[in-house]
Amino acid sequence: MNPVESQSEAAAAIKQAVSLAADPNPTISKQEALLRISPTQLEAVLHTGFEHSTRDVLTQGLGASPGAAVGKIVLTADEAMTATDDVILVREETSPADVHGMQVAVGILTTRGGLASHAAVVARGWGKPAVCGAENIEIADDHIVVNGERIDVGETLSIDGTSGDVIRGTVHTTHVEPIPEIAVLLQWADEVRDLNIRANADTADEAKVARVNGAEGIGLCRTEHMFLDEQRLPIIRKMILAASAEQETQALQALRDSQHKDFLGLLEEMDGLPVTVRLLDPPLHEFLPEIEDLIEAAARNELDQHDQDLLRAARRWRERNPMIGTRGVRLAWLKPGLYEMQTLALLDAIADRTASGGTPLVEIMIPLTVSGEELAGIRERIQSTIEEHSPGASIKIGTMIETPRAALVADQLAQHADFFSFGTNDLTQLTFGFSRDDIESSIMGLYLEQGLLHNNPFQQVDSEAVTELVQLGVERGRNTKPDLPIGVCGEHGGDPTSIELLAATGIDYVSCSPPRIPIARLAAAQAAIHRTTEN
Ligand code: PEP
Ligand code: MG
């Protein structure tokens, strides 16, 4: 179907369903209206699309962040920054060091990485179109090669972040004007759903979009994303490079000051709603330049003293399997000042908000815990920081459940947690033993084609093992604490089928990127209706 038709047809379907159910003599119920509209139709009217269905598709990657984008190719974040036209940033993968370029690009295209990769997660958070893992694209110095066809930097590409299509040249984009019936439909959805919907938001701007879209709080603020712009990277690098306790303390103080401002912005936007702040999670080398680039520069004798220090740090922090290495709560055991600094920055922001009459509701979340002792120790430190600096402040401290072990020992973890949030990206990675950064652009296509897997488990939560682990974690957690609040903040929280499957496990909320909140509200309502009609 032509995408323009599908957009306008979806808009017409929404208008019709709402008018039939809102009529003084309704011919269908509100619930029937809600069931008539598929999340895909809602998505179609919320994003830009391409005009022509017959388009010359060069290659395909994963539709990682919906919407259409047209721009000139650039291959580095710095080129994106200096470009005067709209650009598509093409990278093998993105990392924190690319974020300034990603921000200014109209679309992002990567040749490696899946739906839970850095590029995909960041782009979805911003609502920026992205295609990831387009493995048929090779990147050279000043051009790319797609299936043998050379395309130079500066030439135009069109990407479709919904279908994953990559097209040479310009395809005209379309946008359906917002229709008031969407708000009516979503209000009906809110009346029937029993799952709360929160947002994965890291900045005040994202929080604003989330709130407009109906988020009932922030379920995941990835604090590492606050260090990703060019001005902030040197601050965190200073901490990584600190050669003495004194230098580390100084670097942590600078981090505290910058995080204080970030948290303040977030709490202002989300005033009166819960904001779950996850303490630093990624392996530290992610904040350093690529080690290969440093080694090449060293061979050319191009490293100054600071670069040499960076190279030493990159070697120090290099791991063969960084995603199962020194990250998450493990970092806090290695660098005890880190979580304390983040807690202090939060307390500073809470104090400011309270002083100006706001109602900050903060929850601190600890990532990647695997044992009761590990969680208890860090919780104790965070609590004593709170007691020392803001005695009596009431801040919930919870944990992510991201490993099969954490799900299995959820009864123990619940003793030290005020809430759980399932990180289904890591839980999927670790349940399958599939690298979330590599598998979708390596063998996932083959596995789907051969029927070895029925769905991409990073897109649609695996209903055979991962949801069972979630259910088990919910049951065991609530055996210890019957009222334990539990959410899901992996990317599945914005996928309609996953929402339905996860709702059945007994969780209280899902958290997803701000642009997906309307979809999640509809999907949660449909899940609730299906459950009541089945029973
Ligand atoms: C997850 O693992 O599902 C999660 C939300 O954390 P992150 O994607 O930041 O690892
Ligand atoms: Mg995780």
Most confidently predicted of 86-100, 245-259, 288-302, 378-392: 378-392
* Residues within 5 Å of ion ligand 2, judged at the Cβ atom: 402, 423, 426
Q: Is 241 a residue whose pLDDT tops 50?
A: yes
pLDDT given at position 53: 60
Q: Is 173 a residue whose pLDDT tops 90?
A: no
489: annotated active-site residue? yes
Higher pLDDT pick, 443 / 416: 416
- With a threshold of 0.75, does the pTM exceed it? yes
CB of 520 closer than 6 angstroms to any ligand 1 atom: no
Name residue, tokens 């490293």: 303
Amino acid letter, residue 197: I
Higher pLDDT pick, 362 / 127: 362
Q: How is the chain split into domains, by residue range?
A: 3-44, 57-168, 193-283+319-534
> For 465-482, what is the mean pLDDT?
98
List the catalytic residue out of 47, 100, 118, 225: 118
Helix ranges (H only) for 282-440 are 291-299, 305-317, 329-334, 337-355, 372-389, 404-408, 410-414, 424-432
Query: Which protein residue has the closest C-alpha to ligand 1 atom 4?
Result: 423
Compute the distance from residue 304 Cα to the ligand 2 centre, in Å. 35
Query: Which protein residue has the closest C-alpha to ligand 1 atom 1?
Result: 423
Ligand 1 atom with minimal separation from the 367 CA: 6
Question: What CA–CA distance (Å, rounded) separates 264 from 273?
Answer: 14
CB of 489 closer than 6 angstroms to any ligand 1 atom: yes
Decide: helix, strand or coil at residue 143: strand
Query: Which protein residue has the closest C-alpha to ligand 1 atom 8?
Result: 425
**Best of 400, 401, 461, 495 to mutate for ligand 1, by most ligand atoms within 8 A of CB?**
400
> Which of 179, 107, 400, 414 minimizes the C-alpha distance to 280?
400
Q: Quick one: how far is CA 303 from the chain centroid?
A: 35
Q: Is 181 a residue whose pLDDT tops 70?
A: yes
Question: What CA–CA distance (Å, rounded) separates 531 from 534?
Answer: 5
Model confidence at 233, pLDDT cuts 50, 70, 90, reads confident
Per-residue pLDDT tens over the stretch 390-409: 998 989 999 999 999 999 99
pLDDT given at position 225: 84
118: annotated active-site residue? yes
**Best of 221, 276, 470, 489 to mutate for ligand 1, by most ligand atoms within 8 A of CB?**
489
pLDDT given at position 54: 60
Ligand 1 atom with minimal separation from the 402 CA: 2
Ligand 1 atom with minimal separation from the 200 CA: 5
Q: Is 235 a residue whose pLDDT tops 90?
A: no
CATH architecture, domain defined by 57-168:
3-Layer(bba) Sandwich (3.50)
Start-to-end CA span in the chain (Å): 36
pLDDT given at position 330: 96
Most confidently predicted of 233-237, 382-386, 444-448: 382-386
CB of 282 closer than 6 angstroms to any ligand 1 atom: no
Most confidently predicted of 220-234, 292-306, 508-522: 508-522
pLDDT given at position 1: 46
Q: Is 3 a residue whose pLDDT tops 60?
A: no
Q: Is 230 a residue whose pLDDT tops 80?
A: no
Topology adopted by domain 193-283+319-534: TIM Barrel (3.20.20)
DSSP letter string, 260-281 = HHHHHHHHHHTTTSEEEEEPP-
Per-residue pLDDT tens over the stretch 25-54: 999 999 999 999 999 999 989 988 887 666
> For 438-461, what is the mean pLDDT?
93
